Amino acid sequence: MNSLRRRDPRLLISERECRALAPGINAWLVRGATEAEVIRALSQGLPTVLRGRAAGILAWRLREHLPPPAPAPTSAPLVPVAPGPVRGKPYPCRGCHNVVLRPESGLTHCQACREARVPAAA
Protein backbone atom coordinates (compact mmCIF):
# COMPACT_ATOMS: atom_id res chain seq x y z
CA MET A 1 0.00 0.00 0.00
CA ASN A 2 3.03 2.29 0.27
CA SER A 3 3.09 2.30 -3.52
CA LEU A 4 -0.30 3.99 -3.52
CA ARG A 5 0.89 6.78 -1.23
CA ARG A 6 3.91 7.35 -3.48
CA ARG A 7 1.65 7.61 -6.54
CA ASP A 8 -0.81 9.96 -4.87
CA PRO A 9 -0.19 11.40 -1.38
CA ARG A 10 -3.96 11.67 -0.87
CA LEU A 11 -4.08 7.84 -0.65
CA LEU A 12 -2.39 7.76 2.75
CA ILE A 13 -4.33 5.25 4.88
CA SER A 14 -3.90 3.87 8.37
CA GLU A 15 -2.61 0.40 9.22
CA ARG A 16 -6.10 -0.61 10.37
CA GLU A 17 -7.60 0.54 7.07
CA CYS A 18 -4.85 -1.33 5.25
CA ARG A 19 -5.80 -4.57 7.04
CA ALA A 20 -9.47 -3.96 6.21
CA LEU A 21 -8.60 -3.62 2.49
CA ALA A 22 -6.41 -6.75 2.42
CA PRO A 23 -9.24 -9.23 1.62
CA GLY A 24 -10.30 -7.11 -1.36
CA ILE A 25 -6.74 -6.96 -2.67
CA ASN A 26 -6.37 -10.69 -2.12
CA ALA A 27 -9.52 -11.29 -4.21
CA TRP A 28 -7.85 -9.46 -7.09
CA LEU A 29 -4.64 -11.47 -6.73
CA VAL A 30 -6.55 -14.76 -6.60
CA ARG A 31 -8.19 -13.81 -9.89
CA GLY A 32 -4.81 -13.44 -11.53
CA ALA A 33 -4.21 -9.69 -11.25
CA THR A 34 -0.66 -8.57 -10.58
CA GLU A 35 0.28 -6.17 -7.81
CA ALA A 36 0.98 -3.49 -10.44
CA GLU A 37 -2.50 -3.97 -11.94
CA VAL A 38 -4.12 -3.59 -8.51
CA ILE A 39 -2.16 -0.40 -7.79
CA ARG A 40 -3.03 1.00 -11.21
CA ALA A 41 -6.74 0.22 -10.75
CA LEU A 42 -6.78 1.89 -7.35
CA SER A 43 -4.81 5.01 -8.25
CA GLN A 44 -5.60 5.93 -11.86
CA GLY A 45 -8.36 8.31 -12.76
CA LEU A 46 -9.02 9.62 -9.28
CA PRO A 47 -11.08 12.82 -9.13
CA THR A 48 -9.26 16.07 -8.40
CA VAL A 49 -11.08 16.40 -5.11
CA LEU A 50 -11.53 13.24 -3.04
CA ARG A 51 -14.88 13.27 -1.29
CA GLY A 52 -14.67 10.90 1.61
CA ARG A 53 -11.88 8.87 3.15
CA ALA A 54 -9.23 7.42 0.90
CA ALA A 55 -9.83 3.94 2.36
CA GLY A 56 -13.53 4.16 1.45
CA ILE A 57 -12.72 5.10 -2.14
CA LEU A 58 -10.17 2.27 -2.37
CA ALA A 59 -12.64 -0.25 -0.90
CA TRP A 60 -15.28 0.84 -3.43
CA ARG A 61 -12.82 0.48 -6.32
CA LEU A 62 -11.73 -2.97 -5.12
CA ARG A 63 -15.36 -4.13 -5.07
CA GLU A 64 -16.65 -2.42 -8.20
CA HIS A 65 -13.69 -3.04 -10.50
CA LEU A 66 -12.98 -6.64 -9.44
CA PRO A 67 -11.78 -8.50 -12.54
CA PRO A 68 -13.55 -11.68 -13.65
CA PRO A 69 -12.21 -15.00 -12.37
CA ALA A 70 -9.15 -16.24 -14.21
CA PRO A 71 -10.02 -18.94 -16.74
CA ALA A 72 -9.33 -22.46 -15.59
CA PRO A 73 -6.03 -23.77 -16.89
CA THR A 74 -6.58 -25.91 -19.94
CA SER A 75 -4.94 -29.26 -19.93
CA ALA A 76 -2.95 -30.28 -22.95
CA PRO A 77 -4.66 -32.86 -25.14
CA LEU A 78 -3.62 -36.36 -24.32
CA VAL A 79 -1.06 -37.72 -26.70
CA PRO A 80 -1.11 -41.48 -27.10
CA VAL A 81 2.07 -43.06 -25.88
CA ALA A 82 3.74 -45.55 -28.15
CA PRO A 83 3.71 -48.99 -26.57
CA GLY A 84 7.01 -50.06 -25.09
CA PRO A 85 8.84 -53.22 -26.04
CA VAL A 86 6.90 -56.36 -25.33
CA ARG A 87 8.44 -58.39 -22.58
CA GLY A 88 7.63 -61.94 -21.71
CA LYS A 89 8.99 -65.15 -20.27
CA PRO A 90 12.12 -66.71 -21.78
CA TYR A 91 11.59 -69.93 -23.72
CA PRO A 92 13.65 -71.98 -26.19
CA CYS A 93 12.63 -71.69 -29.83
CA ARG A 94 11.58 -75.10 -31.24
CA GLY A 95 13.25 -74.29 -34.55
CA CYS A 96 16.71 -72.93 -33.64
CA HIS A 97 16.70 -73.57 -29.86
CA ASN A 98 17.80 -69.99 -29.09
CA VAL A 99 16.24 -68.57 -25.94
CA VAL A 100 13.79 -65.78 -26.73
CA LEU A 101 11.13 -63.87 -24.82
CA ARG A 102 7.59 -65.05 -25.42
CA PRO A 103 5.35 -61.98 -25.54
CA GLU A 104 2.16 -63.99 -25.85
CA SER A 105 1.24 -67.53 -25.02
CA GLY A 106 1.13 -70.14 -27.72
CA LEU A 107 4.23 -69.07 -29.64
CA THR A 108 6.70 -71.89 -30.04
CA HIS A 109 9.16 -70.38 -32.53
CA CYS A 110 11.20 -67.15 -32.55
CA GLN A 111 10.34 -64.45 -35.09
CA ALA A 112 13.16 -65.49 -37.47
CA CYS A 113 11.98 -69.11 -37.51
CA ARG A 114 8.34 -68.03 -37.97
CA GLU A 115 9.30 -65.82 -40.91
CA ALA A 116 11.37 -68.66 -42.42
CA ARG A 117 8.40 -71.05 -42.11
CA VAL A 118 5.87 -68.73 -43.83
CA PRO A 119 7.50 -68.75 -47.31
CA ALA A 120 7.95 -72.53 -47.10
CA ALA A 121 4.22 -72.97 -46.43
CA ALA A 122 3.22 -70.70 -49.34
CA–CA gap between residue 66 and residue 60 (Å, rounded): 10
CA–CA gap between residue 40 and residue 73 (Å, rounded): 26
pLDDT in tens, 16-72: 999 999 999 999 999 999 999 999 999 999 888 888 899 999 999 999 999 998 777
Contact 117, 102 (CB under 8 A): no
DSSP 7-39: H-GGG---HHHHHHHHHHHHHHHHTT--HHHHH
pTM for this model (two decimals): 0.56
